[in-house]
Structure 1
């Protein structure tokens, strides 16, 4: 039974108390000392990544997601890289270590609910789950309308002002102030294309400048998809404006003319953007979103977002299928995620009752 009063402990205080209880279980034989120390180490790492001075009850699912993904990228001190050898690519922590860390955090929050340290277990709202292969990953789940518009709004602002003067950006984000290293408009373009057109991440990073053309005043993207199939998708006006701004000024710092077959999206070193870099781009833009409307999302989650909201707005299913590049409508059904409150909205505007509502008016 939940205590009547909430004890607003900081993350550090709650972690220390929980570790004391875990270590006490070793005295009764309920837990081995080695296992208890693993819990203690994971809880200490969680406090460090989440911020020990924050109130535990203030953490939500997005905060937990950020900590879990930060842990996955945290270097493993037990596996030293020999001198002269390059560090391994991919997540720094093994898949088993990531899954164990998530279990430790989940166990702590279960106790926190019973002890009255939190009102609601934030793990129930976390989207990052453990996989047998590949470790921790955010679920490929569509953003709600508020979350999606918050992300798109942040990207549009970034595309319009480039994030502010170069000096301000360098101080705020740690970004380089050199013109050939500015990536703000590129980041905005990446997020806008993913969230409004819904390409596969492989389609996005393979895109070349020549794949974008204008017909009767409308900007199109010729997307080269699976199985050698191509599709021409018109870009929303706001996205086309950011694309043109990127091509005119920010790509390569406004450098030389583009050659045929040259990549659209470049790293600040001038190389084609890699698939693994796209998640980092999304995360950077997410940091500009109001925390109340921010949630971790993968590139494929933004593809789900495109499909879900186009279908929820009664866009023709075949048109959505063609935008996403699916071969048939049955595949599209897997991309239609449930949105909170959508059933209530549907029943309030029931088509069989609209005539009666008009008569009352």
Structure 2
């Protein structure tokens, strides 16, 4: 049974406690000494990659993806052939090791949401760790956005008090994630005061990683739903959080997936595909880049300091090569000069 309160421990402290527990199991015969040492070595590598002072609960699915891929790129010191990366079996073993750590951390109350459930990097039998395709296709994304819009326009649910109506809030969550691609931590940290209007354009001041902020304009349709939510859909509360439960408490990261799943249930089966908040971040990046939006603008929307990071977020879309070749710039009819 999970503890009632979260204990914010550092990655290093969590690793020490977990390794102590693992080694204790060798005394009962539950684990062999060799297996326990493998766990200890992998957990020590996790501490090195994540940083000793990082709070374990602050690691997101996106962070876990980065850690897994960083491990995959590490030179394997045990190999004499000068191999540049870990073997596929080593990569799969490392993923199992940290997965076991996070499973224990969830039960121990060190994390409120197991980030492994949000990670998208999986171990392949050949080729090692690879990110799964995460971005929704255009049709799937439009189906989800359409369901969110209809939810925001739906009449009040009969039999429920005004403060229990969550349709507009759920619409705002899905629309912000689908069109702007924030990290889920950035979304649940957002406050009402972070949204402002300048020259008739609605902006969201997003407080991102490393203390960095970015001001991103909202698409007009999303801004309208947001304003509707603030006017008549947000629960009355002294809490300044943008997203509240019907009891007036700030939503947690784990609540967001449940919202996405509820909206997905309203999408027609032919357009429906399960997706995580991080998958919607990939969806935003993929479709902005596929539509030839300036790479630096996409970088600023997502809140990355380096353009090279965008490569992780650019997923393949079915049929996009065919579309690109049909619209080849060298085969277009030349423009006629004005008469």
If the TM-score is normalised by the length of the shorter chain, which range does it land in? 0.5 to 0.7
Q: Structure 2 unaligned segments of length 5 or more: list them.
A: 1-108, 125-130
Whole-angstrom distance in 1 between the partners of 2:243 and 2:123:
30
Distance 1:165 1:331 in 2: 43
Residues 186 and 207 of structure 2 are in contact (CA less than 8 Å); yes or no, is this contact kept in structure 1?
A: yes
What's 2:224 paired with?
241
- Map of 1:150 onto structure 2: 143
Indicate which of 134, 152, 173 corresponds to 1:190: 173
Query: Which residue of 157, 165, 175 maps to 1:166?
Result: 157
Matched, 1:228 2:211: yes
1:18-72: per-residue Cα shift (whole Å, max 9, x none)? xxxxxxxxxxxxxxxxxxxxxxxxxxxxxxxxxxxxxxxxxxxxxxxxxxxxxxx
Deviations 1:251-308 (A, max 9, x none): 11xx36x67xx11000111111000010000000000001000000000000000000
- Work out the CA distance in 1 between the residues paired with 2:186 and 2:218: 15
Any stretches of 5+ residues in structure 1 without a counterpart? 1-85, 99-126, 133-137, 171-176
Give SS of 1:219's match. strand
Q: Among residues 329, 335, 358, which one is paired with 2:307 in the alignment? A: 329
Say whether residues 1:285 and 2:285 are aligned partners. Answer: no
Q: CA RMSD of the aligned region, Å?
A: 2.9
- Does the 8 A contact of 2:299 with 2:310 survive in 1? yes
Give per-residue Cα distances to partners, 1:156-199, cap 9 Å, x unaligned: 111122xx3322xx6xxxxxx12111111000000000000000
1:60-139 alignment runs, 5 A limit: 139=132
Partner-residue secondary structure (3-state), 1:307: helix
How far did 1:130 drift? 6.8
Residue pair 2:122, 2:132 contacting (<8 A) in 1 also? no
Q: TM-score, normalised by structure 1?
A: 0.56
Deviating 4+ runs (over 4 angstroms): 88-91, 127-132
- Counterpart of 1:119 in structure 2 is none
What is the count of residue pairs matched by the alignment?
A: 220
Rounded to whole Å, the distance in 2 between the matches of 1:183 and 1:237 is: 22
Aligned partners of 2:289 and 2:122: how far apart in 1? 30
Q: State the alpha-carbon separation in 2 of the partners of residues 248 and 165 from structure 1.
A: 15
Judge conservation of contact 1:139–1:298 (CA < 8 Å) in 2. Answer: no
Q: Summarize deviations over 1:203-256 as a string: whole Å, max 9, x none.
A: 00000000000001110000000111100000001111111111111111xx36
